[in-house]
Amino acid sequence: MKKLALHWKIIIGMVLGIIFGFIMNGIDGGKGFVSDWIAPFGTIFINLLKLIAVPLILASLIKGISDLKDISKIKSMGLRTIGIYVFTTLVAIVIGLTIVNVVQPGEGMPQDTIEKIKAKYENDAGVADKLAKATAQKDAGPLQALVDIFPSNIFQSFAEASMLQVIFFAMFVGICLLLIPEKKAKPLIKFFDSLNEVVMKMVDLIMLFAPYAVFALLANVIIAFDDIEILIKLLYYSICVVGGLILMICFYLLLVSVYAKKSPLWFLKQISPAQLLAFSTSSSAATLPVTMERVEEHIGVDKEVSGFVLPVGATVNMDGTSLYQGIAAVFIMQVIWPEGLTFSNQLVIVATALLASIGSAAVPSAGMVMLVIVLESIGFPAELLPIGLALIFAVDRPLDMCRTVVNVTGDATVSVLVAKSLDKLHEPRVKNWDDNYKK
């Protein structure tokens, strides 16, 4: 009998996790049971994915660059990648701003709803935490983000999983391997090639655990929802964000079919396990190993391209996040600061949401931290900030899950486009044991 494909198993795990979470929410002591006995399995899974992220970036990037044979190719790949990333992010922000201005989800929100949300979340530790993180980020100088790319101690970068620093180091090693005599470079290239194979196999093995892990992750998300009434009040706003994200996915599919001449449904099917994990973990960084595996082995993007485009994209390309930031910023203004809703402020939002999505870490909730910076850039009154965040806090997690799916799909799409433009898109070679297929 043909085994159930991985993405179906993951979907079943997700649905059962949601149902289980709701049941436990209604049972006395159920929440405690989920957080003590179920959630840790989700954490173990995320830890395993993070564990292999650094070796994977290192091995695939060093191998990819040393395969290029020619340094000028790195420049052309780099410029194309960054150019397409900026383009898709701008499209995302424009889609977000258009939707929120047309639909106006914040118009006419009843005062008592605002008061209720304010009372519940204004002094919430989660809101305070986002504000504190945003202040720390803002206090750093304007070039701090650039300085942060260059590590002084690579082991510290590994330990902290600082993605851009690891990417810089790997590229540096890869370029130097191209510059030294081939005979001397060979042993190291072989080593990283072999490391890359091992890590890819680790992805396969870890993914066998995915259906159970997403069960745990989603059950844990569900038990955190407590005020359904507030969630419903924010439904209008949430629908705007999700609608925009769906449009963004359609845009990617259009790019894949028109430019790369691949069937959109086929692309979605190949990338779906990564999307489902992005949804369950809310972290593009944790999803990265799976995104790489899917894109290389199931879509056929050459390692040279995916090894560079995907790790860079996980950190700097967050179309879902920027779309969300545009909608959230304008929604908050519609509700509590309508006088700020000028055209010039919306132009500033386009620029800052672009930068903020580049600067957002690929971890849960990072988009909300950077939203504070977007709001501050348009002179949003500081005393209203906690209320603004409180307004959207209740639905941040589900929206984070959805925008992370778009972030990951965007990275995968751009890797396909760059690969196509460099003639590095091949027939996929699915390896034995992937998806639990037995040959």
Nearest CA to 6 among 438, 435, 437?
435
Answer whether 8's CB lies under 8 Å from 16's CB.
Answer: no
What's the chain's Rg over C-alpha atoms?
22
CB-nearer residue toward ligand ASP: 284 or 346: 284
Tell me how many degrees the CA angle 317-374-291 measures, rounded to the nearest 5.
Answer: 20
The rounded distance, in Å, linking the Cα atoms of 321 and 318 is: 5
Answer whether 300's CB lies under 8 Å from 72's CB.
Answer: no
Considering the complex, what minimum distance in angstroms separates the CB of residue 287 from ligand ASP? 8
CB-nearer residue toward ligand ASP: 280 or 365: 365
CB-nearer residue toward ligand ASP: 65 or 210: 210
Considering the complex, what minimum distance in angstroms separates the CB of residue 366 from ligand ASP? 4
CB-nearer residue toward ligand ASP: 105 or 313: 313
CB-nearer residue toward ligand ASP: 196 or 322: 322
CB-nearer residue toward ligand ASP: 196 or 413: 413
Supply 290's token pair: 């799976």
One DSSP character per residue, 266-315 reads: HHHHHHHHHHHHHHHH--HHHHHHHHHHIIIIII-B-HHHHHHHHHHHHH
The rounded distance, in Å, linking the Cα atoms of 95 and 98 is: 5
Considering the complex, what minimum distance in angstroms separates the CB of residue 362 from ligand ASP? 4
Which residues, including other chains, have CB under 8 Å from residue 315's CB and lie 6 or more apart? 163, 164, 167, 285, 361, 362
Considering the complex, what minimum distance in angstroms separates the CB of residue 3 from ligand ASP? 30
Secondary structure of residue 396 in the 3-state scheme: helix
Secondary structure of residue 52 in the 3-state scheme: helix
CB-nearer residue toward ligand ASP: 299 or 408: 408
The rounded distance, in Å, linking the Cα atoms of 331 and 106 is: 5
Nearest CA to 321 among 218, 413, 236, 405?
405
Phi, psi of 382 (to 5 degrees): -60, -35
The sign one gets for the Cα dihedral 70, 76, 82, 85 is: negative
Find tokens 């751009």 and name the residue.
Answer: 414
Considering the complex, what minimum distance in angstroms separates the CB of residue 70 from ligand ASP? 33
CB-nearer residue toward ligand ASP: 371 or 425: 371
Considering the complex, what minimum distance in angstroms separates the CB of residue 398 from ligand ASP? 12
Answer whether 40's CB lies under 8 Å from 148's CB.
Answer: no
How many separate helices (H) and strands (E) can be counted in the chain? Answer: 21, 0
Residues of this chain that interact with ligand ASP (CB under 6 A) are: 282-284, 318, 321, 360, 362-367, 400, 403-404, 407
CB-nearer residue toward ligand ASP: 321 or 377: 321
Considering the complex, what minimum distance in angstroms separates the CB of residue 177 from ligand ASP? 31
Give the residue at shortest CB distance from ligand ASP. 367
Considering the complex, what minimum distance in angstroms separates the CB of residue 365 from ligand ASP? 5
Number of neighbours of residue 286 by Cβ within 10 angstroms = 24
CB-nearer residue toward ligand ASP: 62 or 249: 249
Considering the complex, what minimum distance in angstroms separates the CB of residue 280 from ligand ASP? 12
Considering the complex, what minimum distance in angstroms separates the CB of residue 251 from ligand ASP? 18
Q: Is 400 exposed, middle or buried (0-12, 13-18, 19+ CB in 10 A)?
A: buried
